Amino acid sequence: MGKTLMRSEVPIEQTWNLADLFATEEAWESELKAIESDIEMVTKYKGKLGESAVVLLDCLQAKDALQERVMRVMTYAHLRQSGDGTDPNNQANSARVGSLMSQVNASTSFIRSEILELDDQKIENYIEQEEGLKEYEKTLSDLLEMKPHKLSSDAEEVLAAFSEVMNAPYMTYERSKTSDMQFSSFTTDDGEEHPLTFNSFPNYEGSSDTELRRNAYDSFVATLEQYKNTYAATYATEVKKQVVEARLRNYDSVTDMLLHEQQVTKEMYHNQLDTIQTELAPHMRRYAKLKKRVLGLEQMKFSDLKAPLDPEFEPEITYEEASKLVLESLEVMGPEYMEIMKQGVHSRWVDRADNVGKRSGAFCSSPYGVHPYILMTWSDSMRNAFTLAHELGHAGHFRLAGRYQNISNTRPSRYFIEAPSTMNEMLLSQHILAKPNDDRMRRWVILQSLGTYYHNFVTHILEGELQRRVYDLADEGTPITAKLLCEQKKELLSQFWGDAVEIDDGAGLTWMRQPHYYMGLYPYTYSAGLTASTAAAQTIKEEGQPAVDRWISALKAGGTLKPLELMQLAGVDMSTPDPIKKAVAYVGTLVDELERSFE
């Protein structure tokens, strides 16, 4: 591992082009101030939404126009902060955007309140009278479903005014992780010292060197241990906030409130968590035992789970080579989709260098009316190609949705969000396997596919299981402490892995690694998306163009349909556990082939 660069030292071609959002920071500053004064373009409709269909339409369009501008300002500050969280200027600008968001949310909260005061029939009449309101039909319908859970107009405005404070747990977590958390370097028996950061740990985690892997893990969890009480208090605040809001809004539980927001039934939610944990565990235990045997380990530790099964075969690939490979794999999706993908890899949508203060992991941010932005850390590993394909899936989805829908209709339920990204990973796997490969390359691709399922069906589903437990405990009034979180995490890991993996106390700290806990019921949706993409990718392989057309139609639909209907449009019926069981069974076949390859 070499020296980690400062942000100013990173070659510009490895960074995203924020000038596509704002040419200069001064331009951003000017727009920030302009938005504050232009909020009046929306608030002038306060108290008038019941006057006519025209007034309602004008107000909704004015809100959309303001929201588009706010999103650009917010995204610029967020991306600067993600690129270097140690920069005080980035921290300050991020805080300023948070204040602006609070102001906008509070000032425009009357729209929701006034619409909820209108009679359902009156809204139906408005939609019939004013053609432009048909674009907002689902938005209005979704709002009306919230009627049993609405607060008074004054209460909604107060809650909206506190949005910056409400988002403080997530902000505190991210700020601490990128700016304050310092990991100690560690040494191996050969005397070499190895630097460690949040971003570099995944590389060590996947190392073929058992000593390097385990020492990195020990250093990593030792630092997590120092922060566990602070992070537990931060997360407990997030949970308590949700418990209070759920009660204020007359929901039976936090889970009911968060699922209502996703338009997902409890049955769909529990199907995902229960089916995968129950049916996948035996396959994953076989996988862990195979890994222990092949790697010659006396003990299969939690820190060994991501060790490569074929240590001497780790395909390397440059960003340029990976871009070409990914584009080839996605050609089946058609010219419109491909035009977006080519822009994505060639026009500096991707920030891929590692630098001090850079946020860990990978994400795609898609401001409406501008192209998406992708953050990742490139290390010339073929694994990075799959991460790139994944994030480009998000980019293609929101580029298409933004092209065909207004800003209010762009974003679908989180239940669908991870389907387009994992679809791209499936297509990349299929593309590589279709090439002439030797046995080792084929095995590597199968291992990579298993890595995707591990990420979504194991890591994220177990995060989802922890959330399920935490919300149930919080609803009962149980205090959420570091001790409780670590115990619950360690217990559910032990239940899933059985005797196949030794679960140490450090494994119980893994709830500290992901920001998803601050995003509502997000983790389990990764598995829902992968379930859908597994089924749809298989259909594309069998049917070809008709299946592709269905998939692209679902991407273009954005948020105009509820998640169950959206997946049905894509050709997948998630109303039963059947697609989940089939996806898990497919994982079983991958483990079968892997076992055969090592006989």
Measured CA to CA, the distance from residue 435 to residue 441 in angstroms comes to 10
Task: For residue 121, give every residue at least 6 positions away whose Cβ sits within 8 Å of its Cβ, in sequence order, or none.
Answer: none
Q: Name 555's Cβ contacts closer than 8 Å, sequence gap at least 6.
A: 396, 397, 400, 401, 420
* Residue from 391, 418, 425, 465 carrying the catalytic annotation: 391
Quote the CA–CA distance of 329 and 311 in Å, as a whole number: 26
Contacts of 484 (CB under 8 A, 6+ apart): 473, 478
Q: Which of 75, 97, 94 is nearest to 85 (CA)?
A: 94
Q: Which two tokens stand for residue 68?
A: 């588009």
Question: DSSP letter at 301?
Answer: B
Nearest to 458 by CA among 487, 486, 500: 500
| Cβ(188)–Cβ(217) below 8 Å | no
**CA-CA distance, 296 to 293, in Å (whole number)?**
5
What is the spatial order of strands in the sheet that 373-375 belongs to? 350-351, 373-375, 363-365
CA dihedral sign, ordered 362, 410, 518, 80: positive
Q: For residue 370, give the DSSP letter.
A: S
Assess whether 25 carries a catalytic annotation.
no
Best CA proximity match to 144, nearest among 163, 127, 166: 127
Strand-pair category, 363-365 with 350-351:
unpaired
- Gap between the terminal Cα atoms of the chain: 34
CA-closest candidate to residue 353, choices 200, 217, 216, 201: 200
| Residue 29 one-letter amino acid | E
User: Which residue type sits at 436?
Assistant: P
CA 574 to chain centre: 20
Instruction: With both helix axes pointing from N to C terminus, report the angle between 266-295 and 482-497 in degrees, rounded to the nearest 10.
Output: 70
Q: Which residues of 487-499 are buried (b: 16+ CB within 10 A; e: fewer)?
A: ebbbebbeebbee
**348 backbone φψ class: left, alpha, beta (φ>0; ψ -120 to 50):** left
Q: What is the Cα–Cα distance from 579 to 543, expressed in whole angstroms? A: 18
- Which residue is it, tokens 């690939």? 317
Joined together, the tokens standing for residue 519 give: 């995003």
Q: Which residue has the tokens 């008038």?
A: 48
Query: How many C-alpha atoms does 452 have within 13 Å on its Cβ side?
Result: 34
Task: List active site positions.
Answer: 391
